[in-house]
């Protein structure tokens, strides 16, 4: 029993250090921002517009790219094919590479000299310096979170349930929408939340593709570079508050009914 207490105390101490490492910078930022600075930032139309744009662009990326990400996750969870592990590695690539490099790579695909950029311009969609480019940049760096979570969710669904339904005459489509998808729903919702949250924080890829219109991470950087820490900190504090509210709200919505009681 004594040994258990010793290891518990050590683990509690180490855990406390990690939590302090996470919380201390944020706490310092909030404590060093006065109520007046909060009010001025909230009243600043540029700040409000950038936050609105950031939230909507990240959400748009989730809604658009989840249409393909969830089926890909299902294939990775259920099918065995040559190169499967290579595809799994490709899925994680946007997390590994520097996001400035990701922005350069994306820019090469959506620039006005590329066929996609030219097609977009012809259709009135501007990738470089436009909302569409922001959506793509956010989705690119955040989509691994959705694919990996959804893949784990589908993996946890017993294949015998799907096979039993197929044996009883259900179509593959019906099996997917009535068995696989509902049973993996919680992990998929977690992935959607993480993808949205990750998109909200993106700077490196976005700033290369679309400095304007300005999302909040870019606005924070501009305020810091142009006016210093005292002008950037209130905007950062307001934005972090908004992100925390959104993230906690999404987490609460994704909880199981028994966890809410």
| DSSP per residue, 98-125 | -HHHHHHHHHHHHSTTSHHHHHHHHTT-
Give long-range contacts, CB 8 A cutoff, 24+ apart: 106-109.
106/133, 106/136, 106/137, 106/140, 106/205, 106/208, 106/209, 107/208, 107/209
Spacing of C-alpha 63 from chain mean position: 12
Low-confidence ranges of the chain (pLDDT < 70): 1-3, 253-261
Q: Between 3.40.50.300, 1.10.3720.10, 3.50.50.60, 3.40.50.920, what CATH number should domain 46-255 receive?
A: 1.10.3720.10
Mapping DSSP to helix (H, G, I), strand (E, B) and coil, where does residue 33 land? coil
Mapping DSSP to helix (H, G, I), strand (E, B) and coil, where does residue 39 land? helix
pLDDT of the residue at 2: 52
pTM of the model: 0.89
Neighbours of 74 (CB within 10 A): 20
pLDDT, one tens digit per residue, over 213-249 is 999 999 999 999 999 999 999 999 999 999 888 888 7
pLDDT of the residue at 6: 79
Q: What distance in Å separates the CA atoms of residue 212 and residue 139, rounded to the nearest whole number?
A: 18
Neighbours of 194 (CB within 10 A): 19
pLDDT of the residue at 255: 64
pLDDT of the residue at 253: 67
Cα 96 to Cα 14, 126, 141, 142, 229: the distances in Å are 27, 28, 9, 11, 29
């Amino acid at each position: 029993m004594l040994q258990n207490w010793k290891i518990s105390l050590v683990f509690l101490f180490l855990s406390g250090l990690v939590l302090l490492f996470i919380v201390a910078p944020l706490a310092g930022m909030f404590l060093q921002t006065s109520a007046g600075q909060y009010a001025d930032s909230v009243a600043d139309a540029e700040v409000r517009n950038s936050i609105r744009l950031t939230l909507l662009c990240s959400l748009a990326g989730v809604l658009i790219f989840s249409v393909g990400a969830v089926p890909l996750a299902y294939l990775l969870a259920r099918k065995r094919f040559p190169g499967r592990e290579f595809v799994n590695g490709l899925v994680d690539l946007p997390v590994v590479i520097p996001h400035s490099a990701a922005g350069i790579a994306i820019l090469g695909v959506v620039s006005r000299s590329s066929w996609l950029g030219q097609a977009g311009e012809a259709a009135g969609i501007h990738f470089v310096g436009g909302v569409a480019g922001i959506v793509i940049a956010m989705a690119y760096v955040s989509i691994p979170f959705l694919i990996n979570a959804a893949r784990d969710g589908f993996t946890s669904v017993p294949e015998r349930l799907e096979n039993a339904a197929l044996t009883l005459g259900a179509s593959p489509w019906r099996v997917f929408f009535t068995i696989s998808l509902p049973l993996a729903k919680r992990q998929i919702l977690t992935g959607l939340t993480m993808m949205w949250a990750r998109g909200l924080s993106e700077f490196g890829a976005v700033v290369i593709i679309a400095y304007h219109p300005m999302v909040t991470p870019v606005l924070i950087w501009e305020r810091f570079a142009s006016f210093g820490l005292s002008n950037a900190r209130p905007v950062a504090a307001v934005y972090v508050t908004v992100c925390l509210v959104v993230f906690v709200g999404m987490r609460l919505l994704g909880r199981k009914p028994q966890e809410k009681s």
